[in-house]
């Protein structure tokens, strides 16, 4: 009886939070998953030595896995046991599904295509057969889509690991772990030699590029493509903006990185032509989300670092496993600049008009992201001995949940590691929940102030 009352209290509380603040519910769910993951990684059985890991390492790795970031203070392959790696794999999967599902649900709530919150609450209260309606279909579609992509990547990788003379069980585990890491854009590597030993291996790296690309597009785009791939004209404006912007940035990034690093003796210089092309294509996607790389990022030129900062900050598609401010945000801001330069009153693309509220939302997301990054860089410059370019790279990588690193993460002071933990959490949930919170706060005012334009520029 008591347990039934407690369950009823929890359900009522979740209902109230979902009704009043779905963004707060998203934050609470992610925080709870990270806490459970941290406690599991604190078990001695989770480490390769059989000793309890330092709490900060457990917390850092749990946050990095659930927030699908990829930054690490330890070696995934050497410091964690099979049990520990299994916990991290579970965190990656739950985190990836959680991001795609929660972001998609919040997007539906914001768009008001359906009374999502009310429908969820009604389903919980009435316990009808069609309990979640469109929400249930959405969640099932997210799970089926992600599992299908992961199984496909696994099926491609497994034969390759077997040809590397690995034991069958080891090959299966490496293929499974790598497939999760790729599609969920995490960037963890369970291979003892890392990915750097496989530069030029098209069989292994091509799934990394393709899987990262797919995972970073976002579930709404993938679902839209599945329904309208025969008639691209029928794609939504969101899908068209995401695809065109993502592909354009992907190609530009690959070309510029190749030009910047082509003769660098510590990166592209010693590679064969096909290896240079492969590595450039990999950087076209890994700098936006996954962080998986076949070269030492710390040896890249400062110009490449600066470009990677920009690419990481932009990130991937909305409601995807990628981080950053999202490519649609950049697309809307760019369209607004073009419209202003032309003197157009409306922001238009693909025969559609973008409402002013979307532009305000984009400005809010960019502004908040910039403030978080700027303050974090300032703080870490105060508490660490590293230079601005190094700190900026690490901060943006954490905020954008990319996982690329110049190699200072493990050497940061304790307060710096805790700060990156908070930054990964904020970067993973912040822009998503901020967008929902701002969009849902659509106040109707009967009285509006007189209009007056201040001078700009």
List the pLDDT tens digit at each of the 457 positions of the chain: 555 655 555 455 545 555 555 566 667 778 888 999 999 999 999 999 999 999 999 999 999 999 989 999 999 999 999 999 999 999 998 888 766 566 555 555 544 443 444 344 333 333 333 334 445 566 777 788 889 999 999 999 999 999 987 789 999 999 999 999 999 989 899 998 889 989 999 999 999 999 999 888 887 888 888 888 888 888 999 999 999 999 999 999 999 999 999 999 999 999 999 999 999 999 999 887 788 999 999 999 999 999 999 999 999 888 788 888 999 999 999 999 999 999 888 899 998 999 988 898 888 889 989 999 999 999 999 999 999 999 999 999 999 999 999 999 999 999 999 999 999 998 887 665 655 555 555 555 556 667 766 756 6
Distance (Å, whole) CA 417 – CA 427: 15
Q: How many helices (H) and strands (E) does the chain have?
A: 17, 2
Which pTM value belongs to this model? 0.86
Distance (Å, whole) CA 375 – CA 53: 30
Distance (Å, whole) CA 205 – CA 89: 20
Specify the pLDDT at position 19: 52
Specify the pLDDT at position 85: 96
Specify the pLDDT at position 23: 60
Specify the pLDDT at position 220: 81
User: What residues pair up with 352 in beta bridges, in sequence order?
Assistant: 349
Distance (Å, whole) CA 404 – CA 396: 9
Which residues are CB-contacts of 52 (< 8 A; sequence separation ≥ 6)? Answer: 42, 43, 44
Distance (Å, whole) CA 173 – CA 76: 13
Specify the pLDDT at position 166: 76
Domains in the chain: boundaries = 2-440
Specify the pLDDT at position 81: 95
User: What residues pair up with 348 in beta bridges, in sequence order?
Assistant: 353
Radius of gyration of the CA atoms of the chain, in A: 22
- The tokens for 96 are 């990836």
Which residues are CB-contacts of 442 (< 8 A; sequence separation ≥ 6)? Answer: 357
Contact between 314 and 249 (Cβ < 8 Å):
yes
Residue 348: which H helix or E strand, with range?
strand 347-349
Distance (Å, whole) CA 78 – CA 49: 9
- The tokens for 300 are 């890249």
């Amino acid at each position: 009886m008591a347990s039934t009352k407690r369950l009823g209290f929890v359900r009522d509380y979740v209902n109230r939070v979902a009704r009043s603040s779905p963004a707060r519910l998203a934050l609470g769910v992610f925080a709870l998953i990270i806490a459970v993951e941290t406690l599991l990684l604190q078990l001695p059985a989770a480490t390769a030595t059989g000793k309890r890991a330092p709490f900060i390492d457990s917390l850092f790795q749990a946050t990095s896995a659930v927030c699908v970031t990829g930054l690490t203070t330890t070696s995934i392959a050497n410091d964690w046991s099979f049990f520990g790696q299994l916990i991290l794999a579970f965190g990656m999967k739950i985190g990836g599904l959680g991001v795609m599902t929660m972001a998609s649900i919040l997007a539906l709530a914001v768009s008001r295509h359906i009374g999502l919150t009310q429908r969820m609450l009604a389903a919980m209260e009435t316990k009808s057969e069609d309990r979640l309606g469109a929400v249930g279909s959405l969640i099932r579609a997210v799970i089926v889509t992600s599992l299908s992509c992961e199984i496909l990547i696994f099926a491609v990788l497994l034969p390759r690991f077997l040809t590397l003379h690995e034991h069958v069980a080891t090959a299966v585990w490496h293929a499974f772990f790598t497939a999760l890491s790729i599609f969920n854009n995490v960037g963890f590597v369970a291979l003892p030699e890392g990915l750097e030993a496989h530069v030029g291996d098209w069989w292994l790296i091509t799934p990394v590029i393709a899987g990262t690309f797919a995972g970073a597009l976002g579930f709404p785009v993938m679902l839209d493509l599945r329904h309208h791939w025969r008639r691209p004209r029928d794609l939504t404006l969101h899908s068209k903006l995401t695809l065109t912007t993502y592909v354009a940035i992907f190609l530009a990034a690959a070309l510029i990185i190749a030009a910047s690093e082509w003769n660098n003796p510590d990166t592209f210089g010693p590679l064969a032509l096909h290896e240079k092309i492969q590595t450039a294509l990999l950087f076209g996607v890994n700098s936006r989300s996954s962080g998986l790389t076949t070269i030492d990022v710390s040896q890249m030129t400062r110009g490449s670092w600066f470009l990677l900062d920009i690419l990481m900050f932009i990130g991937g598609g909305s409601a995807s496993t990628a981080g950053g401010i999202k490519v649609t945000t950049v697309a809307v801001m760019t369209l607004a600049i073009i419209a202003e330069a032309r003197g157009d009153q409306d922001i238009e693309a693909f025969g559609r008009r973008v409402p002013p509220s979307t532009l305000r939302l984009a400005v809010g997301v960019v502004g908040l992201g910039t403030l978080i990054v700027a303050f974090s860089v300032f703080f870490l410059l105060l508490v660490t001995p590293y230079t601005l370019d190094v700190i900026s790279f690490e901060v943006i990588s954490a905020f954008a949940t990319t996982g690329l690193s110049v190699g200072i993460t493990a050497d940061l002071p304790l307060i710096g590691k805790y700060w990156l933990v908070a930054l990964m959490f904020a970067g993973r949930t912040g822009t998503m929940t901020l967008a929902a919170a701002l969009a849902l706060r659509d106040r109707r005012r009967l009285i509006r102030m007189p209009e007056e334009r201040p001078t700009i520029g």
